[in-house]
């Protein structure tokens, strides 16, 4: 029986990764019992441990640290009480980390600030990465406050303007660009946070 148990343990160890703890014990009749439940009063040996998901999620800050403008974005996030991952997601969608990006409508820089918005935020040079990120983060925080920390609506307002969201009863406006933009930003934000693609925000 000991040989059989050893062989079974070897087979379990060599098999594909498990998604839960697995325990092995001997029943009263002498047969081997495998279970993912550790019942009191029985002698068990754990043969497979469930992967530590916390470790995988905790690795996400390293991913953000290695991204462009990580230090400037971290500073803007801290100054405006925002997740750095959200700013990264907006920057990726707006400019793909190009500090010199210009849109046909006149928006510029990493977070694509419009001239009027830049003046309102006190950003004199939208092509200066630090100033642009601080200004864009302040504006994003303003949108989050306006929409009660609803990230989807705040991101929609960042793209289409707050009036476009408010005038439609606080829903994502039906503009083709905004309907593409919002899921793109939220998908990247979830990825950088280590969340499932359908995880609630």
Domain assignment present for 201? no
CA distance 182 to 153: 9
Q: Clarify whether residues 85 and 147 are in a common domain.
A: yes
Q: Is 71 a catalytic residue?
A: no
One domain, residues 122 and 81: yes
From 53, 24, 52, 54, select the one nearest 36 (Cα to Cα): 24
Q: pLDDT of 36-65, one tens digit each? A: 544 444 564 555 444 333 333 333 555 688
Identify the pLDDT of residue 65.
80
Rg of the Cα trace of the chain?
Answer: 25
Residue 29 shares a structural domain with residue 69: no
Give the distance, in angstroms, between the CA of residue 176 and the centroid of all CA atoms in the same chain.
Answer: 24
Report pLDDT for 59: 37
| Lowest model confidence (mean pLDDT) among 19-23, 69-73, 101-105, 111-115 | 19-23
Residues 120-135 have pLDDT tens digits of 999 999 999 999 999 9
In a domain, 168, yes or no: yes
What is the domain-level CATH number for residue 89?
A: 1.10.530.10
- Give the model's confidence band at 66: pLDDT under 50 very low, under 70 low, under 90 confident, else very high: confident
Q: Looking at the structure, do residues 46 and 76 belong to the same domain, yes or no?
A: no
Please list the residues that pair with 29 across neighbouring strands.
none
Q: What is the pLDDT of residues 106-160, one digit of tens each?
A: 999 999 999 999 999 999 999 999 999 999 999 999 999 999 999 999 999 999 9
Phi and psi for 99 in degrees, rounded to 5? Answer: -70, -15
* Average model confidence (pLDDT) across the chain: 82
Strands 32-35 and 22-26: antiparallel
47 and 74 assigned to the same domain? no
For residue 41, give its domain range. Answer: 2-51
Confidence bin at 198 (pLDDT 50/70/90): confident
Per annotation, catalytic residue among 50, 71, 94, 163: 94
Q: Are residues 98 and 14 in the same domain?
A: no
Residue 175 has pLDDT above 90, yes or no: yes
- Cβ(1)–Cβ(30) under 8 Å? yes
How far is CA 84 from each of CA 20, 61, 133, rounded to the nearest angstrom?
A: 32, 9, 11
């Amino acid at each position: 029986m000991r040989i059989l148990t050893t062989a079974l343990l070897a087979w379990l160890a060599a098999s594909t990764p498990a998604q839960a703890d697995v325990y092995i014990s001997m029943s009263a009749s002498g047969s081997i019992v495998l279970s993912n439940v550790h019942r009191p009063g029985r002698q068990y040996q754990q043969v497979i441990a469930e992967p530590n998901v916390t470790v995988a999620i905790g690795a996400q800050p390293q991913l953000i640290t290695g991204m462009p403008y990580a230090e400037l974005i971290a500073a803007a996030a801290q100054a405006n009480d925002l997740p750095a991952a959200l700013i990264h997601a907006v920057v990726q969608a707006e400019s793909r980390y190009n500090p010199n990006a210009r849109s046909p409508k006149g928006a510029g820089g990493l977070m694509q600030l419009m001239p009027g918005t830049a003046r309102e935020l006190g950003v004199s040079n939208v092509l200066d990465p630090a100033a642009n990120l601080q200004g864009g983060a302040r504006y994003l925080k303003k949108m989050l406050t306006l929409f009660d920390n609803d990230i989807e609506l705040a991101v929609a307002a960042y793209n289409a303007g707050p009036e476009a969201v408010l005038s439609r009863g606080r829903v994502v406006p039906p503009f083709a660009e905004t309907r593409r933009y919002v899921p793109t930003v939220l998908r990247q934000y979830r990825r950088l946070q280590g969340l499932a693609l359908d995880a609630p925000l």
